[in-house]
Structure 1
Amino acid sequence: MTTLVHAFDWPDRIVVGTVGRPGERTFYLQVRTGARSTSVALEKEQSAALADKVDELLGDLVADRSSGVSVPAETPVELIDDDPVDQPVEEQFRAGAMRLGWDPRTLQVVLEAYPVAVPRDEDDLAPDLGAEPDEPSEMLLVRMPVGTARAFVERTRKVVSAGRPTCPLCGGAIDPDGHVCGSRDGV
């Protein structure tokens, strides 16, 4: 089976954004070049972890003086993107595994996202001797410059933190419809 690759080199836009109200939000990694875009659903935790890993990679590049890469300490003003995700959002797939890397030839951060692995039916458990090894049906491949990566980190962290407020007693999320506190003090 051939893997369908949604490839974006030097995208016009790469953002994490949400659809829905806090507590019911769906997170999307959305990439666009011209009129072509791809949206991949993420979990909130995946979004936060992705921002942390991209930030860590940028920090490693700053620390490695031999890399010759100039990484902005803050997001360049012209790269700040606070707009909502492009509508309509058409989910390509829900992300499972992701990989992050650095391409020293193009001086770009490389992000790969793969769909959540779907378990096979019991009928499919019989080995097919002519079958190819399991390959994902599709993947997202994005190459972005360091300034864009810095903007991606900042925006993703804002989006993740913009959810429901946290209860100061139990640390649980406070829903718009109310909150039952689970603090240890029983307060």
Structure 2
Amino acid sequence: MPRVIHVFRQPDRFVAGTVGEPGDRSFYLQATESVRRVSVLLEKQQVSVLSERIGTLLEEVSRRFGAEVPPTTPENEVDTSPLEVPVEEEFRVGTMGLGWDAESRSVVVELLAVTEEEVDESVVLDDTDEGPDALRVFLSPERARAFATRAERVVGAGRRLCPLCTQPLDAAGHVCPRQNGFRRVAAES
């Protein structure tokens, strides 16, 4: 079966979001354009890395190509709406690609499905017929910065961290290794 590449050249939305409670969340990226919507499942760490790398890419693009890149995103431009439902997973993300399209002056995010075979890096950001399914999204520098800002917030919105050991706290607390096994009770909110 040939590869399916979902391309969003001018998405209405491209956001990171979660389903579930902190400590048991599933992370998604969702692209929407008109009536078309694609949601892909990925790990929290992948969302964090993508957000960080977009920031790095924007700095490089500004430096090397003179592209106008906003240093921050105005608060009113950060999409704070929840994921559109129903959230139907198209695929689980394995490999991620990031690039700059000089012609459209856009950041290109490509997310490839997990496969059992090793992914040849030549299929990333390419339209070859062979390879894993993909989601490819083109974002203006402003929209890319807004995506990265929201993604950072989504990742940071999980469970609070223990001030002693920095491990996540459950509602009932946790056994903190820094307290020699004594159970730490969660602080009142």
Q: Calculate the TM-score normalised by the size of structure 2.
A: 0.85
| 2:177 match | 182
1:76 Cα offset (Å): 4.0
| 1:46 match | 46
For residues 80 and 42 of structure 1, what CA distance do their matches in structure 2 show?
21
For residues 105 and 68 of structure 2, what CA distance do their matches in structure 1 show?
10
**Greater shift after overlay, 87-96 or 68-77?**
68-77
| 2:103 match | 105
Secondary structure of 1:106 counterpart: coil
| 2:166 match | 171
Q: Calculate the TM-score normalised by the size of structure 1.
A: 0.86
For the 8 Å contact 1:76–1:147, the answer to whether it is kept is no
1:74 Cα offset (Å): 1.5
Letter in 2 for 1:71: V
- CA offsets per residue over residues 153-187 of structure 1, 9 Å max, x none? 10000000000000111111111243121227555
In the alignment of these two chains, the number of paired residues is 173
| 1:24 match | 24
For residues 179 and 116 of structure 2, what CA distance do their matches in structure 1 show?
39
1:77 Cα offset (Å): 4.9
1:118 Cα offset (Å): 2.8
| 1:117 match | 115
Letter in 1 for 2:99: G
Secondary structure of 1:183 counterpart: helix
For the 8 Å contact 1:2–1:137, the answer to whether it is kept is no
Is residue 2:7 matched to residue 1:4? Answer: no
Alignment map for 1:59-138 (pairs within 5 Å): 59-64=59-64, 67-77=65-75, 79-118=77-116, 135-138=130-133
1:19 Cα offset (Å): 0.4
| 2:155 match | 160
For the 8 Å contact 1:115–1:136, the answer to whether it is kept is no
* 128, 141, 145: which one aligns with 1:146: 141
For the 8 Å contact 1:170–1:184, the answer to whether it is kept is no
1:136 Cα offset (Å): 2.9
- CA offsets per residue over residues 56-86 of structure 1, 9 Å max, x none? 001112222xx13111112145532001111
Letter in 2 for 1:43: E
1:106 Cα offset (Å): 0.5
Letter in 2 for 1:25: R
Secondary structure of 1:15 counterpart: strand
Secondary structure of 2:148 counterpart: helix
Q: Gapped runs of 5+ residues in structure 1?
A: 120-133
Using a 3 Å threshold, how does the CA distance of structure 1 residues 160 and 2 change in structure 2: closer, same or farther?
Answer: same
